[in-house]
Amino acid sequence: MIFHSTKNKNLTASLEEAVFRSLPSDNGLYMPEKIPQIDSSFLDTIEDRSFKEIAVEVAFTLLSDDVSREDITSIIDKAYDFEAPVVQITPGDYVLELFHGPSMAFKDFGARFMAALMSHFLSRSEQEIKILVATSGDTGGAVAQGFYKVPGISVTILYPSGKVSEIQEKQLTTLGHNVRAIEVDGTFDDCQSLVKEAFLDKELSSKFNLASANSINIARLIPQSFYFFSAYAQLKKLNKPIVFSVPSGNFGNLSAGLLAFRMGLPVHRFIAATNLNNAVPRYLESGSFEPRPSIETISNAMDVGNPSNFIRMTRLLNDDLNLINEKIVGYFYNDSQTKKAMREVYGNTSYVLCPHTAVAYRALEEYRQHEETDFTGVFLSTAHPAKFIDLVEDTLGRKVDVPERLNELLSIEKVSIKMDTSFSSFKNLLLS
């Protein structure tokens, strides 16, 4: 597959180049030049396939020019030792649980595939790669777990001291080996600027092969389409149009859903569900995209004022506002509405939602009031509620179960390197 920049169709890259460069030199985003169609006979029997079989077929459809079927199968095997089950909540509503991976957030789907794909490319060369990533919470854990002990790759994660949850911090700081965590005495934006500056630094880029594992890397987007196909497989027997409600921040997840749709997956509609960082729902309402500085909310992984995948989302629908409005509807909620949704679902069904998932649930309920055709509603659960234990327990007024895996993590000592926000400190650390 050939990729080109969203800013310039003539600036192209192979899969391998797009994955290791992450961004084209003109600061656009990589997009597939053509979107291949999934084999319709595959869709006819998709309900009989496992998650991994579906992932292999979708990945092979997209990447067959670059990676053999055998290698794709082994990449998928390595990446996914966890599933994406669909669970019924109420008669028409289902939750797609995306938190069964090692960091218990959906970002595992992207990070694990990216790590396996990079290591496949590296196995053919002698290169050593240094991954740099700034995190505000969930990305770091998924990337750390994804690249842990991958030969030829070392990972440096920068996170803002005191601004991630205890569990999130432990996920970054307890692995060791090829993963190191830098605790920056500053904000997420400081961490991000340090990473950006490192990529621009001549000395660093001549000494090392630096790569980024942020969410705009195409190798994180592609695998997120797998679970839309898998959800369809699990719900196909109901024989109704499917509506996906996607809790969104940077809009990678929703863009991956659109990629699946463009490949031929039957999807009736997508719901763009956000917190008060609502640039996309406002765009869908007014037709004009006006990013704003981000606002802090309880669904903090979605606190994005200027979603970086917005351009991919509109491109995937040919930048055609009519088509965009036909395929996507947007809703947004404040924190008290989100908490109310968490209490409502818990009260009615005993199912515990994380705050991000609650936003998607609430949006699906609102959509249901306006939709006349009978449909199957699926809201995506992007994180396990125990990752936000204090908030969830406060909101529901009771203790919730913490999976053994997370409990064990809390008893392990954290190891981090403390650093100020100056670039010279960061550069010295990388050179030492």
Ligand X SMILES: *Cc1c(COP(=O)(O)O)cnc(C)c1O
Closest CA to 222 of 405, 67, 62: 62
Determine if 80 is a binding residue for ligand X (CB under 6 A): no
DSSP string, 87-107: EEEETTEEEEE---STTSBTH
Site string for ligand X, 200-239 (x = CB under 6 A): ---------------x------------------------
Q: How many CB atoms lie within 10 A of CB 34?
A: 7
Q: How many residues does the chain have?
A: 432
**How many residues touch ligand X (CB under 6 A)?**
16
Does the footprint of ligand X cover residue 247 (CB under 6 A)? yes
Look-up: residue for tokens 């959800």?
A: 231
Nearest approach in angstroms of CB 249 to ligand X is 4
Catalytic residue among 7, 9, 34, 107: 107
Q: Is 356 in the site for ligand X (CB under 6 A)?
A: yes
Query: Measured from the CB of residue 10, what is the shortest distance to ligand X in angstroms?
Result: 28
The 8-class DSSP code of residue 244 comes to: E
Give all strands (DSSP E) within 310-422, no chain letters: 328-332, 376-381, 417-419
When asked if residue 105 is in the footprint of ligand X (CB under 6 A), the reply is: yes
Residue 40, φ and ψ in degrees, nearest 5: -70, -25
**CB of 72: closest distance to ligand X in angstroms?**
23
CB of 385 to ligand X, least distance (A): 10
Query: E strands of 266-394, at which residues?
Result: 269-274, 328-332, 376-381
Binding part of the chain for ligand X, among 201-209, 244-252, 343-351, 403-411 by CB under 6 A, reads 244-252
Of the residues 212, 253, 314, 376, which one makes contact with ligand X according to CB under 6 A: 253
Return the number of the residue (217 or 382) whose C-beta is nearest ligand X.
382
Amino acid at 149: K
Out of 251, 283, 332, 361, the residue judged to bind ligand X by CB under 6 A: 251
The pair of structure tokens assigned to 60 is 């092979």
Instruction: Name 331's bridge partners.
Output: 273
The radius of gyration of the chain from alpha carbons, rounded to an integer in Å, stands at 21
> Which residue lies nearer to ligand X by CB, 54 or 105?
105
Q: How far is the CB of 416 from ligand X (least distance, A)?
A: 21
Q: Which amino acid is at 86?
A: V
Q: How far apart are CA 429 and CA 204, in angstroms?
A: 11
Among candidates 213, 253, 244, 186, which has minimal Cα distance to 361? 244
The 8-class DSSP code of residue 383 comes to B
CB of 356 to ligand X, least distance (A): 4
Segment 368-397, which members bind ligand X (CB under 6 A)? Answer: 382-383
Out of 252, 281, 377, 385, the only residue in the binding site for ligand X (CB under 6 A) is 252
**Residue 261 CA from chain centroid, whole number:** 17
Residue range at the interface with ligand X (CB under 6 A); choices 28-36, 247-255, 289-297, 414-422: 247-255
Q: Which of 49/163 has CB closer to ligand X?
A: 163
Per CB under 6 A, 275 contacts ligand X: no
First to last CA, the chain: 38
User: Which residue in the set 135, 230, 248, 395 belongs to the binding site for ligand X (CB under 6 A)?
Assistant: 248
* The only residue of 93, 138, 169, 183 in contact with ligand X, by rule CB under 6 A: 138
Site for ligand X in 285-304 (CB under 6 A): 301-302
Is there binding between residue 112 and ligand X (CB under 6 A)?
Answer: no
- For ligand X, which is the closer residue by CB, 230 or 300? 300
Would you call 414 a catalytic residue per the annotation?
Answer: no
d(CA 304, CA 345) in angstroms, rounded, equals: 26
Q: Is residue 249 a contact point for ligand X (CB under 6 A)?
A: yes
Tokens of 50: 């496992």
Q: Which residues pair with 332 in a beta bridge?
A: 274
- Distance between CA atoms of 121 and 371, rounded to whole angstroms? 46
Amino acid sitting at position 342: M
Least separation in angstroms between residue 309's CB and ligand X is: 7
Shortest Å, Cβ 127 to ligand X:
29
- Residue closer to ligand X (CB basis): 98 or 118: 98
Q: Which residues are catalytic?
A: 107
Binding site for ligand X (CB under 6 A): 105, 107, 138, 215, 247-253, 301-302, 356, 382-383
